[in-house]
Amino acid sequence: MLSATPPWPLCRRSELVHRFKVRLGCDVGEGVGRSQSVIVVRDDLGVLEIFANQFESKAETAHKICGLAQKWQIGDWMVPHTLRYQGIGWGHPLSGTKEMWVAHIVPLAMSDLGPRRYRIVNGVASPIETGPQWPVSRIARVIILVLCWVYAATLLGFYAAASFSSAEFWPMHLVLFGPRWIAALPAILLVPLTAWLRVRWSTLPLGVALMSFLGFWEFNIPWENLLTTSGESGQTLCVLTCNVKGRSLKIQNLADLVKAARPDVVCLQECSLTDLLVVLGGEGWHCRSAGEFCLASRYPILNFEELRRPDNSRIIAVRARLWRSGKAIPVISVHLMTPRSGLEPLVAWRGEGIDSFREIASVQRFESELLRRWVEGAPESIVLAGDFNLTAEHSLFRRDWSAYRDAFSWASWGLGHTRSTRHTGLRIDHILCGRAWRPRRCDVGPDVGSAHLPVVADLIESP
């Protein structure tokens, strides 16, 4: 929209002397091929001229607009903040050297020949020849598209490094046990920008980034359960595990969970309870304990063993054989070394941080391998439950425990965090089973006052 107020007095072709604002408006047609465009010149008394035609290009429309502006002397009356163009709903003043981009009346990206620049001097509009230019919006689209691909490649690299890096590679441990949600912050900026600038081909890198982030963030989709259609006709074994360390343990909350979930097996780590029946809710349980481990079963326990470190410093796991329906079911309660004492010096940037971490990482590797060898040769009906202190993406977990079925990975959606801090959450408590079982359900229980959340899983005998 071009407008100006003429000087007083002024004689128009209508021989009327008036002091009214002259306005020029243009409706530029958009479409395939030749499109109709309409240019209207009017003042407060009425329409002065209407021009409608099928222009070959947006540049031709711009030429005609300038011709009408010159014809009706709009340029002669132009002073700073008086002549304005209106492109997408609001006006912008044209001031300074009285130069304007007439092609701004249409979007730059839709222009056939690109924007043409005009200089209006003494009522004469003449085009200014300029070299080929790349619109700023196109440059911004290219930059945003490159950033999308860089973001996708970075997340994919993090996910691959988390899955296959060595257990002693301390930078990846800081990522796995740190606030991984920070990786989503660039997407908060890139997604609105791609939508606003309408960046083509941005869906592919953003889709790759989304899938990589979900895997990197440990968001679980139970593909095995979704793609498997085998029947569920066998008996069910309900298993509950929880690391109950903590002075603020709420015994009543744990007892209410046991009453509601009605588990067949309860595995507790770092347990200091003197009377386990207070939690279990009465008689009918078979209980065994060793060190920090307490194991309770509704079925008779045939034998009970413990796995100690070679230096006899602590117990890594306990194993019980349960007798049910004429079959022996091996159940192992697990508590591997925590990496906390190795990560804290790294976070605090202490001089001995890397050496301390490598020492703890080697202990984790040794204990995980020792436990794996201890359970080798067990029947397919084996069940392992407890605090592994390893995330599902950890290289040690993939190396030693990928042959077993992870109940949460098989049957549940989401993150499944069992250990939460102020800045992050981790899924380090697992229920694993052999191929004789099919996980049907796995839930993370409510807060019982411990630093860990309980995990409850229903395992069905495979046909």
CA 261 – CA 447 distance, rounded (Å):
14
Q: List the beta bridge partners of residue 364.
A: none
pTM: predicted TM-score of the whole model, two decimal places:
0.64
CA 272 – CA 266 distance, rounded (Å):
15
Split the chain (463 residues) into runs of 10 and give each run's mean pLDDT. Answer: 43 42 70 64 76 69 75 56 38 36 36 47 57 67 88 83 67 70 84 84 85 77 71 82 83 90 93 83 86 92 91 90 91 88 62 70 89 90 92 85 91 86 82 92 90 92 79
- What the chain holds in terms of domains, given with CATH numbers, is 2-128 (no CATH), 136-216 (no CATH), 230-461 (3.60.10.10)
Residues contacting residue 235 through CB under 8 Å, at least 6 positions apart: 324, 325, 460, 461
Instruction: Please report the pLDDT score of residue 166 as a whole number.
Output: 66
Instruction: Please report the pLDDT score of residue 442 as a whole number.
Output: 93
Instruction: Please report the pLDDT score of residue 78 as a whole number.
Output: 42
CA angle 217, 218, 219 (to 5 degrees): 95
Burial of residue 262 (number of CB atoms within 10 Å: 0-12, 13-18, 19+): exposed
